[in-house]
Amino acid sequence: MADMSDAVRAGYDAVAGEYEKQIAGELAGKPFDRALLAAFAELVPRGLLVGDVGCGPGHVAGHLDGLGCDMTGIDLSPAMIDIARRRYPQLAFQTASMLELPVADGAWGGAVAMYSIIHLSQADRRAACRELGRVIRPGGTVMIAFHVSDEGHQPGDAVDEDEFLGQRIQLTMHFLHPDDVAADLSASGFAEQARLVRDPDPAVEYPSRRCYLIARRAGH
Per-residue pLDDT of 115-141, as tens digits, reads 999 999 999 999 999 999 999 999 999
Round to whole Å and give the CA distance between 7 and 145.
21
| Burial zone of 130 (CB within 10 Å; 0-12 exposed, 13-18 middle, 19+ buried) | middle
Count of other CB atoms within 10 angstroms of residue 35:
12
Domains and CATH numbers, the chain: 2-217 (3.40.50.150)
- Per-residue pLDDT, averaged over 52-67, amounts to 97
For range 68-90, the mean pLDDT:
97
CA distances from 207 to 83, 175, 187, 204, 210 (A): 26, 13, 30, 9, 9
DSSP codes, 128-182 = HHHHHHHHEEEEEEEEEEEEEEBTTB-TT-EEEEEEETTEEEEEEEE---HHHHH
Mean pLDDT of all residues in 45-66: 96
pLDDT at 163: 77
Confidence of residue 59 (pLDDT cuts 50, 70, 90): very high
Summarised one tens digit per residue, pLDDT across range 147-190 is 999 999 999 999 988 878 777 878 899 999 999 999 999 999 99
pLDDT, tens digit (0-9, with 9 covering 90-100), for 1-24:
445 788 899 899 989 999 899 999
Across 26-35, 56-65, 119-128, 200-209, least confident range = 200-209
Cα–Cα distance for residue pair 212/147, rounded to 1 Å: 9
Q: What percent of the chain has pLDDT over 90?
A: 83
Q: Residue 5: what pLDDT?
A: 85
At 165 the pLDDT is 77
Mean pLDDT (the chain) is 94
Task: Please give the pLDDT value at position 3.
Answer: 56
